[in-house]
Amino acid sequence: MIPVTLHQLRVFQTVACHGSFTRAAEELFITQPTVSAQVKQLAQVVGMPLFEQIGKELYLTSVGRELFATCQEIFEQLDRFQMIVADLKGTKQGKLRLAVVTTAKYFVPRILGYFCQQYPQVDVALEVTNHQNITRRMLENQDDLYILSQPPEDILLCNEYLMDNPLVVVANKNHPLAAKRNIPIKSLNNEAFIMREKGSSTRQAVQQLFAKYKIVLKMRLELGSNEAIKQAIAGGLGISVLSEHTLYCKSSELELTTLDVQGFPIQRQWYISYLDGKQLSVIAQAFLKYIQEYTQKIGIISCPVASFVYNRRGEK
Ligand code: PGA
């Protein structure tokens, strides 16, 4: 049995998560020399280096990666045990780790707020990122639950339907096509297009549809944020395809509209997913049930900037 303490493992795990001794020290409220000393002692016990520094970047060695995976399991088990104890005492207490794609940030924080009002002793860690990063987090078993549109097929997952997530063509209100109906998709051939970054599944869905109709996009700009894209459209830089849900927040102030283009909306659905075989904590189970019940209650989606209305199944 390797003589390590839980504290050493926690320090190591935090350094590995942030790729930085300084940030780990800040998070754990201890000094950086203490962090370094703990990691050094751990490496001595293991008998091999856990990190390697290349330039300014800190990387896990292969044994470091193994230890990191072990730490994730150990702390997950301990968290789960703590939650079971709290549950037996009649309270829900502990941490919920959630990672969601960028389009889901328009509804998940609000639902989390309601959930936390009901369970005030629950702490939440919410990561908002693109599809590619969510996939990486899944492979590293970093979170309890994931919300995304296109659950990866090469990872064994349990996927539960949550809501429809139609992708629509968004343009400036003064765009010449704004007043037209049933616009042929070929008309987009000549439009300056603002695209999400590589690794975004919105981008992938757009590229697939345009490839199907042989549309050659004039990509004017590539941006890693839906909000930045909305600002660029408002500034007249071009059009884009975004989740309709991104248009709920103050979009009317941004002078945006949706274009009625053939082939749109691209029908997508959000799923809440977790790794197959993962033992969900009491809190993760409670949240899963809560969000499913909540989204089932939501009826017609009426987009404030659209000139037409979609129902829950994304039909006009
Ligand atoms: P994205 O994902 O943030 O990677 O574009 C959007 C989605 O899955 O709905």
Q: Take residue 165 and report the two structure tokens written for it.
A: 């997530």
- To the nearest 10°, report the CA torsion of 305, 311, 313, 316: -70
Token pair in block for residue 117? 């009002």
What separation in Å is there between the alpha carbon of 287 and the centre of ligand 1?
21
Atom of ligand 1 nearest to the CA of 270: 9
What is the third-level CATH fold of 6-70?
Arc Repressor Mutant, subunit A (1.10.10)
- Say if ligand 1 is within 6 A of residue 102 CB: yes
Query: What CATH class has 92-164+269-309?
Result: alpha beta
Alpha-carbon distance 130 to 148, whole Å? 9
pLDDT at 89: 80
**Pocket lining: 242 vs ligand 1, CB cutoff 6 Å:** no
Q: Model's pTM, two decimal places? A: 0.79
> pLDDT tens digits for the chain (316 residues)?
678 999 999 999 999 999 999 999 999 999 999 999 999 999 999 999 999 999 889 999 999 999 999 999 999 999 889 888 888 887 788 899 999 999 999 889 999 999 999 999 999 999 999 999 999 999 989 999 999 999 999 999 999 999 999 999 999 999 999 999 999 999 998 899 999 999 999 999 999 999 999 998 889 999 999 999 999 999 999 999 999 989 876 545 678 999 999 999 999 999 999 999 998 999 999 999 999 999 888 754 444 444 444 433 444 4
Same fold, 92-164+269-309 and 167-259: yes
Integer CA distances (angstroms), 180 to 175, 187, 262, 288, 309, in order: 10, 11, 11, 42, 16
Ligand 1 centre to CA of 85 (Å) is 36
Q: Give 168 Cα–ligand 1 centroid separation in angstroms.
A: 13
On the question of a cis peptide bond just before residue 166, with omega within 30 degrees of 0, the verdict is no
202 lines ligand 1 (CB under 6 A): yes
**Predicted pLDDT at 244:** 92
Burial of 160 (0-12, 13-18, 19+ CB in 10 A): middle
The pLDDT of residue 1: 61
Q: Which CATH number fits domain 167-259: 3.40.50.700, 3.60.20.10, 3.40.50.2300, 3.40.190.10?
A: 3.40.190.10
The residue whose C-alpha atom lies closest to atom 8 belonging to ligand 1 is 149
CA of 148 to the centre of ligand 1 (A): 6
Ligand 1 contacts CB of residue 167 (under 6 A): no
How far does residue 200's CA lie from ligand 1's centre (Å)? 5
Compute the distance from residue 243 Cα to the ligand 1 centre, in Å. Answer: 8
Provide the residue ranges of all domains of the chain, joining segments of one domain with +.
6-70, 92-164+269-309, 167-259
Q: What is the pLDDT of residue 301?
A: 45
- The finding on whether 172 has its CB within 6 A of some atom of ligand 1 is no
State which ligand 1 atom lies nearest to the alpha carbon of 203: 5
